[in-house]
Amino acid sequence: MLQRKDHCLLRTFDGETLRIMPWGPNALRVQAWIMEEPPVQAWALTESPEPSQPRIDIQGDTASILNGKLRIDVDEFGRLSFYKEDRLLFREILQKRVKKLSEYTNPLQLTGREFKGNINGDFRLTVRFEPEKNERLYGMGQYQQDTFDLKGSSLELAHRNAQASIPFVLSSLGYGMLWNNPAVGEAHFSTNQTIWLAHSTKILDYWIVAGDTPDDIVQRYTAVTGRAPMMPDYAMGFWQSKLRYQTQEEVLQTAREFKKRDLPLSAIVIDFFHWPHHGDWDFDYDYWPDPAQMCRELHDLGVKLMVSIWPTVEKDCVNYPAIEEKGLLVRSERGPNITHSTRGDTQFIDLTNPDARRFLWETAKKNYYDKGVDCFWLDEAEPEYNTYDFDTYRYYKGHAMQISNSYPVEFAKTFYDGLRAQGEEQVLSLVRCGWAGSQKYGALIWSGDVHSSFRALREQVVIGMQMGIAGIPWWTHDIGGFYGADVRDPAFLELFARWFAFGAFSPVFRLHGVRSPRLEPLAEKRGGMCSSGSPNEVWCFTPEIEMLCSQLIRLREALKPYIRSLMAQAHEVGRPVMRPLFYDFPHEEKLWTVNDAYMFGPDMLVAPVVMPGVTEREVLLPQGCDWIEASTLRDYPGGQTVRCPAPWSVIPVFVRKDAENLARIIHTYMPLP
């Protein structure tokens, strides 16, 4: 039966209810369930959509719903077809014998919406579409690959260290789709069919929007999932980090050295095992004797302090009895409740539980924020299980198979809500994972523990663009990579120089990583038992590296007014800071394939060097404007490919002719030798 109800189109047939409703301009939300309607969760669609009046037309056993540019037709079999201004975008698969022998028939018995019952009473949900073969697809978050156009890709809808699954995809046909379901699953963008799969869920829920440009689509998407706060001013500068500052005095000496060298420093980061035990969420005072004094001195130097928080808890920590009694831990369905092991067997605090969020924030506030710590590094945010057997774990809000992908959102929300309650307006947390909507909780997502290699560098350039399309404008990476770097290796120094330059033109400019040879631990227990890596400050490599990095740090400081304008756009309309060339020039077909250059805001085209042994590279300049090569101040008409010099000291950057002042700023700090 088809009916109109409260601006929605409803279809009920054979135990399934299908509901299609307007959800913002040019957008529709599709939901379906079997038998009794389950409790409907907002999940990523937390922001109230702009009201709209759809046109619903029911003709016997067929119907259509039109909202602005987007229309969905429902045929007599319940199959959905999606149109943008009468152009078919895609439709559900229907491969079964039909009543009319004159129509195409196929006996495979596959349908567009398939609910298969699981033993636990919920469903394995498969949604199948017939796609347009010639479309290109982008977004979906952070996968460690350099695949740019996702057409033909298969992606796991689950989080891992260095993988953040954000299920929003943008099509070159002029639409975007959000899979609004945090269940563990899969997405397959094959040429013959598109499949979205949730291994265990109660309801189908996705959102479609049509738009004329990628910018229009991303703005609509972030309007219903939320936008980042205004980035704090300090976060737009240079961040110093390493594995790991072992003592309070080491942190202060590093900050003092930046001041002595007259190098701008915005933030310094204290990494893991500054605590006695997992779950203490406090300093080990043998090595950090007076955190409040440390914060005061850093603030006097103009430096903010970030401290690492892990959601891990071990039985020896001071908080374990209270956490266990209150039932605030993620549980294992079978076997021992040990879910992670890094220098001790631990469990994860269950941040889907509001009591757990409250407990973690109150502890962090007392031990860190009240002593002057400015912001927090929310590590292990996937969370990173010993084994990613999601069917093993259960949260307060539901089974891990059904809700696991929402965990990093809850982690970010914990500190966003806590800091906002203290009167902080511009909240930022560095988070190792995220899902759709994380951006509205001040999540600065970084790409995890990636390898120190040119392959990883190439992947980070692509990931940064995909994250921007997926609604995450605050994104960063470990400059130089996290694992596998030896400071004595000339090949690493070349990689480091190239990666540092890429970092200077990233949304957040942050140095981090393990550097070999490793240092010895300070002690055999508590906060001293974890070793560190070799020094990771810019003056600790070679004089040439120090000079190059120092100039880039000063350049970043000079570019802060421009970066501030980009962050304001991200906050106000959801526009990504780092984005593909086609985002600003969507009508140039060739730009939809460029995966090694990007726009840094509307006025800068950045073309990092991502291969070893290279001293020049080709850059495709978009049509419609003239460009200035920043390192030489040479003018080039758009619409051509140019070969430009790229010694270690230069990252190719081209600036629109009408933003010539930016080119001159860059040239001051990065002239061609």
Say if CB 129 and CB 91 are below 8 A apart.
yes
d(CA 514, CA 481): 8
Compute the chain's Rg from CA coordinates.
26
- Helix H segments across 72-228? 214-225
d(CA 119, CA 109): 23
Say if CB 28 and CB 177 are below 8 A apart.
no
Say if CB 371 and CB 298 are below 8 A apart.
no
Say if CB 369 and CB 307 are below 8 A apart.
no
Report which DSSP code applies to 329: B
Q: Which active-site residues does the annotation give?
A: 379, 382, 449
Say if CB 395 and CB 350 are below 8 A apart.
yes
d(CA 17, CA 199): 20
Q: Which long-range contacts (CB under 8 A, 24 or more apart) does 361-368 make?
A: 361/414, 361/415, 361/417, 361/418, 362/418, 363/281, 363/282, 363/319, 364/281, 364/309, 364/415, 364/418, 365/418, 365/422, 367/280, 367/281, 367/282, 367/283, 368/281, 368/282, 368/291, 368/307
How is residue 307 written in tokens? 């401290």
Helix (H) or strand (E) holding 365: helix 354-367
Helix (H) or strand (E) holding 185: strand 185-189
d(CA 375, CA 299): 13
Q: Which residues are within 8 A (CB) of 3 and not within 5 positions of it... i.e. 6 or more apart? A: 9, 10, 58
C-alpha separations of 353 from 349, 395, 403 in Å: 9, 8, 12
